[in-house]
Amino acid sequence: MTQERNGGGGASLQLRDIAVAFSGKTILDVPRLDVGEGSLVALTGPSGSGKTTLLHVLAGILKANQGSVVWGDTDLAGLRQSASDAWRYSNVGLVFQEFHLIDQLSPIHNVTLPATFSNFTVPDSLHRRAVQLLSDFGVPIGARSVKTLSRGERQRTAIARALLLRPSILLADEPTASLDEESARQITQTLTEAAAGQTILIVTHDPIVIECCPRVIRLERGKIVSDTATLGAGAPS
């Protein structure tokens, strides 16, 4: 039977001596990064600064050339790819910048897709959760295909999918990039409320997202150039 993942209050991160290089060019160079369990962190910086690369390293999608990425008791650098993939399924919710939805499927089937990876049927509890998430994010539940949705609605569908199994870690790449200011504010509030207690790292240029994160890390040319605890941060009003 398919099990719901248990958020379990998030997970702590210890990153040490991470380096990523392509064709001899260093893309990412992070000697140290610590993120406490249940933290909400914005990763910001100019395009090409290494933000998405860092997110992929933290998710175990991309193997660094050197260093360690420890979530809780698990060092991703020491895992084979199959074990890393299994760990990611059990612990991480991902929101990709390009959504990675299946156009032929409805919003509800896209959201419940992760629940079918280990079983052919979706438990009623997860189906109800998918419906509630889509409703919270303002996505038309009765749409026959996500192809009929606006870009913003597709983005919200992707966020709902990432939250379905209550992951302990949420990694999001520009989750409000397709939304107008009002929608971005609403989605940021709904996202942070729905993922409360989880460890959340969000790659973003959006000041609305940044202002609600208690910690903001800025990257430039693959390096962390500032790591700031913001004052008065909280869910957007």
Q: What pLDDT, in 10s, does the model give residues 113-157?
A: 988 877 678 889 999 999 999 998 899 998 999 999 998 899 889
Q: Is 229 exposed, middle or buried (0-12, 13-18, 19+ CB in 10 A)?
A: exposed
Percent of all residues in the chain with a pLDDT value above 70, rounded to a whole number: 92
Q: Where does the pLDDT of residue 7 fall: very low under 50, low under 70, confident under 90, or very high at 90 and above?
A: very low
Q: Where does the pLDDT of residue 231 fall: very low under 50, low under 70, confident under 90, or very high at 90 and above?
A: low
Residue 86, token pair as written in the block: 């299994």
pLDDT per position as a tens digit, 81-107: 999 999 999 999 999 888 899 999 999
Using CA atoms, how far apart are residues 143 and 125, in angstroms rounded to an integer?
Answer: 21
Report the pLDDT value the prediction gives residue 5, as an integer from 0 to 100.
Answer: 43
Report the pLDDT value the prediction gives residue 9, as an integer from 0 to 100.
Answer: 67
Dihedral sign computed on CA atoms, order 227, 170, 185, 231: negative
Going from N- to C-terminal start, the domains of the chain cover 38-62+91-229
Report the pLDDT value the prediction gives residue 120, as an integer from 0 to 100.
Answer: 73
Using CA atoms, how far apart are residues 220 and 44, in angstroms rounded to an integer?
Answer: 9
Report the pLDDT value the prediction gives residue 225, as an integer from 0 to 100.
Answer: 97
Using CA atoms, how far apart are residues 232 and 230, in angstroms rounded to an integer?
Answer: 7
Average the pLDDT over 1-8 and give the result. Answer: 41
Using CA atoms, how far apart are residues 9 and 135, in angstroms rounded to an integer?
Answer: 24
Q: What is the end-to-end Cα distance of the chain in Å, rounded?
A: 40
Using CA atoms, how far apart are residues 217 and 86, in angstroms rounded to an integer?
Answer: 28
Q: Where does the pLDDT of residue 6 fall: very low under 50, low under 70, confident under 90, or very high at 90 and above?
A: very low
- Superfamily assignment of 38-62+91-229 in CATH? P-loop containing nucleotide triphosphate hydrolases (3.40.50.300)
Bin 167: left if φ > 0, else alpha if -120 < ψ < 50, else beta: beta
Using CA atoms, how far apart are residues 174 and 186, in angstroms rounded to an integer?
Answer: 15
Report the pLDDT value the prediction gives residue 189, as an integer from 0 to 100.
Answer: 85
